[in-house]
Amino acid sequence: MNILVLGSGGREHAISLKISQSPKTSKLFVAPGNAGTSQIATNIEVGVNDFEAIKALVLKESIDLVVVGPEDPLVNGVHDFFLNDAELKSVPVIGPEKAAAELEGSKEFAKEFMMRHNIPTAAYQSFTSETLEEGYSFLETLKPPYVLKADGLAAGKGVLILQDLQEAKDGLKSMLLDSKFGDASATVVIEEFLDGIELSCFVLTDGTNYKILPTAKDYKRIGEGDTGLNTGGMGAISPVPFADSVFMEKIERQIVKPTVDGLKTDNLPYVGFIFIGLIKVGDEPKVIEYNVRMGDPETEVVIPRLKSDLVEVLLAMANGTLDQVDLQIDERAATTVMAVSGGYPEAYEKGKEISGTEKIKDSIVFHAGTKLSNEKVVTNGGRVIAITSFGKDFKEALQKSYQNMEKLHFDGMYYRKDLGFDL
Ligand code: AMP
Ligand code: GLY
């Protein structure tokens, strides 16, 4: 089969590598891809939201299956675009339709979905500029810290967690009246603060059946000890040691099953990945957020642990036969460490030459923000390269990732050296 992967990050490199290893794959294309995907697939200079260009590519290369990496095209309706086009409608797309992608596209929609289906999550209320005063009154009923969330997509930056009531009121005002996060904060969800440890659960669904992939935990802050600004993710480990079978059974019964059943009940067609951001409060799992895609860098530890043929799994999702799939998972732990550009997540430079990847042994190098320039691999984003390793436990795996990180070089390169410190 000919397969197209949309996206250009470490997640898409990891998905593409696994797809490239399937005997079912004839030709693999990645749009737009990065320097890493160009080694295992054909990169095509087409943006993930350029649906007409994607259509032309699918027809020209006789694509049989499309896998959508990031949330943006899903929230913009790429799946619906295929279904509504006579020439594309027979090409399966892995990723939910627009209506279901609102689980990530709108926090308010996600909260209402959870309430409707009795899925445990933080108590909340939502407000707009017209109900600012009610928002202030609601804040007064809560204890600090105060959690304010822009309703819409804000590139992972739309959440404020504030200690002081006045700061929280000011934050609410700037989100609602001064468009602090643009249109994304025209509606704001104010939530009860949940105190606990976070983890991510990844689910595959064909709309009826589901399979749970290995859990993972990512490290979002730029600084060691989980300090400083939020990033897309500085590394990840899988499995999560505290997610034992008792806890996983709760997650499945209280969250995963009601989510998949709820999508069906609400007539929200969903063929794709569900990324459930969870927090363990005491012994109970609660949902922090839904994403309608895989996590990045969590994919760089979850997908390498999948021993089953990914293409067969994706086809079962598209065909509604996921119940017939027996997912084979590598028992070993996997870790990934992300090398980022100096200055990230604030301003940083691009175009720095990357060296040393050829010296890396016994780990997998996943490219994130890289590109080929005059036959050299150069930096092209904040998160640049993830080094994934296996071990009998996450400590052994991390040691390998860190040893190999020392062989990698580009100007301004930075990575966190304390992953797993909290476990
Ligand atoms: P989100 O974009 O919803 O994932 O939120 C970003 C981050 O804010 C999460 O990864 C959590 O660390 C934190 N967060 C979000 N909601 C809450 C909450 N209700 N209580 C505590 N922390 C939260
Ligand atoms: N690593 C978190 C995310 O992909 O949203």
**Collapsed DSSP state (helix, strand, coil) of residue 203:** strand
Closest ligand 2 atom to 233 CA: 1
User: pTM surpassing 0.85?
Assistant: yes
The ligand with the least distance to the CA atom of 289 is: 1
For ligand 2, the distance from its centroid to the CA atom of residue 61, given in whole angstroms, is: 31
Closest ligand 1 atom to 192 CA: 19
**pLDDT for the residue 85:** 98
**pLDDT for the residue 32:** 98
**pLDDT for the residue 183:** 86
**pLDDT for the residue 6:** 98
- Does residue 144 fall inside a structural domain? yes
Question: Are residue 85 and residue 133 in the same domain, yes or no?
Answer: no
Strands 2-7, 27-32: parallel, antiparallel or unpaired by DSSP?
Answer: parallel
CATH at 36: 3.40.50.20
**pLDDT for the residue 311:** 98
- Does residue 30 fall inside a structural domain? yes
- Does residue 314 fall inside a structural domain? no
Domain final residue, candidates 141, 163, 191: 191
- Say how many domains are in the chain: 2
Least Cα distance to 259 among 111, 133, 119 occurs for: 119
- Does residue 9 fall inside a structural domain? yes
Question: Are residue 185 and residue 128 in the same domain, yes or no?
Answer: yes
Closest ligand 2 atom to 236 CA: 1
Question: Are residue 16 and residue 89 in the same domain, yes or no?
Answer: yes
**pLDDT for the residue 157:** 76
Domain final residue, candidates 63, 98, 133: 98
Q: How far apart are CA 325 and CA 321, in angstroms?
A: 7
Least Cα distance to 68 among 242, 270, 223, 333 occurs for: 270
- Residue nearest (by alpha carbon) to ligand 2 atom 3: 295
Question: Are residue 86 and residue 142 in the same domain, yes or no?
Answer: no
**pLDDT for the residue 179:** 83
**pLDDT for the residue 185:** 84
Domain final residue, candidates 146, 174, 191: 191
For ligand 2, the distance from its centroid to the CA atom of residue 24, given in whole angstroms, is: 29
**pLDDT for the residue 158:** 86
For ligand 1, the distance from its centroid to the CA atom of residue 24, given in whole angstroms, is: 39
- Does residue 104 fall inside a structural domain? no
Closest ligand 2 atom to 156 CA: 5
Question: Are residue 131 and residue 177 in the same domain, yes or no?
Answer: yes
**pLDDT for the residue 21:** 97
For ligand 2, the distance from its centroid to the CA atom of residue 219, given in whole angstroms, is: 9
Range of the domain at 33: 2-98
CB 277 within 8 A of CB 217: no
Question: Are residue 93 and residue 129 in the same domain, yes or no?
Answer: no
- Does residue 387 fall inside a structural domain? no
**How many Cβ atoms from other residues are within 10 Å of residue 382's Cβ?**
21
Distance set, CA 232 to CA 14, 61, 219, 323, 383 (Å): 16, 32, 9, 33, 8
What residue ranges of the chain have pLDDT lower than 50? none
**pLDDT for the residue 24:** 98
The two structure tokens encoding residue 93: 């797309």
Question: Are residue 8 and residue 85 in the same domain, yes or no?
Answer: yes
**pLDDT for the residue 69:** 98
**pLDDT for the residue 182:** 81
- Residue nearest (by alpha carbon) to ligand 2 atom 5: 295
Amino acid at 14: A
Question: Are residue 16 and residue 91 in the same domain, yes or no?
Answer: yes
